[in-house]
A and B are shown apart, each in its own frame.
Chain A
């Protein structure tokens, strides 16, 4: 292990992306994600990669998609308003099965909102922002260390499953500076590829794992990429059987690999009667609150989904079995709390802490709910 260095969350995200093999970044800067563009602009040329600032957020994701199709690991980063703009092309990448990492450092909304204030209001947009049924993987870090490690995981999952992955950061973690040890070696996954493909090979012919191998565009095989539902050759079709099979395959390639994709952190949950459910930056307040509650003799734990989508329903249901009261804390008006309700059922007591004023949920606020009779 190398020595500990001081790093900002946004910066660690870029370093993790580079370690994972990112060699192309296209973006349009926006607070609080701007440092991701700045550090990418500085670091990519040092490792033989390319950085481009586009005219807007739509062009940025389009550019990153194009680069990825050519075989280069690509990323774009933004915040809420820009994330809204990227939704159309995000759906395109889902359907065309193009590996890509999209970072959203969430800030207060709606619209341009409070540009410099924290929020976790894009959770449901991450899942449903682009139209139609589509698979989605979203991951949320709660430390600078995780910004690094999970950025790598985003790339690895994206490559493995040929699908865009959302890195759902927030202002609290993106702008936080703390110590981090950069590991000497990390595990890297590369997309399934075909070497010297036959010119007439069906570009979207799936293998047993439902993930077609990807020929880098321009190398040995011409194929069609479209946002229309398509057959295995990649060309559009109105055949209902093929259409249904394609959308089903896209959903299943993620559903079938739930156990590989979903990660959670459980702290002091074994004997917990009270549980705090939180994610991303909010987990830092929750952990402090849980420690204080434990010191006061309250059997309290924390459940944190690291993977936000797919939702960690198996783990959550199991962890909450013996729990009498769940406190859900998130920086929004109530988004993931509805997923928690769906999983634990209508009988279980849920207390909600939400904030939409741009301030941060504090350990004291969570502790007060823990102690409430």
Chain B
């Protein structure tokens, strides 16, 4: 597998950082090298938040994403802020409710109903980050689904396993069903 430089963006409180921690955990379980970091302001809720994870078969030097191979954004504000100067071959995943900014003309942008799937099909909007990690893994094939599930279960509160498993499965389905390109 080539080195994957993954950047997730959203609003503070959406679980963006946790989503990258889960992807990093899954990478470790699958025997890969990983580096996860985040950038956020002093506020705990709201504001544009960015978290990054690098997954590689070889040792990682610089720990921050330099040339993103993948960007996901769940809010318009974070999409506008963090989609600038992306390499041309960077794959972009956004929530279907967002509009594609002009600077992404010519990029491969995938729209998926991540937030509405979490809110309506899973029944809890707060599971959007789990829906997202499943969709991301479906798109990028970072690790096997079982490693991802194990990673998710390591980072959720006890008693929420069924809910999160449902979120994972709904996320996988988004990719299996194709997604709107």
Contact = CB atoms under 8 A, between A and B. Distances in A.
Contact of A362 (B34, B36, B39, B62): B62
Interface in B57-71: 60-64, 66
Interface string B54-85: 00000011111010000000000000000000
A14 interface: no
B25 interface: yes
A6 interface: yes
Contacts of A285: 61-62
Contacts of B25: 6
B163 to A, nearest CB: 23
B42 interface: yes
Chain A interface size, as a band, is 20 to 34
Interface residues of B, number: 20
Interface stretch (A42-50, A171-179, A223-231): A171-179
Interface string A305-317: 0000000000000
B24 interface: yes
Interface string A176-207: 11110000000000000000000000000000
B39 to A, nearest CB: 7
A6 B39 contact: no
Contact of A176 (B37, B41, B42): B37
A116 B42 contact: yes
Nearest to B29: A6
Contacts of A363: 61-62, 66
A162 interface: no
Nearest to A115: B42
Contacts of A5: 28
A6 B24 contact: yes
A6 B53 CA distance: 12
Contact of A288 (B21, B39, B61): B61
B28 A31 contact: no
B38 interface: yes
Contacts of B35: 176-178
Contacts of A288: 61-62
B166 interface: no
Interface in A356-371: 360, 362-364
Contact of B36 (A115, A172, A178, A360): A178
Given A5-B28, A6-B24, A178 B42 contact: no
A364 to B, nearest CB: 7
Interface in A103-140: 115-116
B28 A179 contact: yes
B40 interface: yes
Nearest to B35: A178
Given A6-B34, A177-B34, 15 more contacts: A6-B24, A6-B28, A115-B42, A116-B39, A116-B42, A176-B36, A177-B36, A178-B35, A178-B36, A287-B62, A291-B61, A362-B62, A362-B64, A362-B66, A363-B61
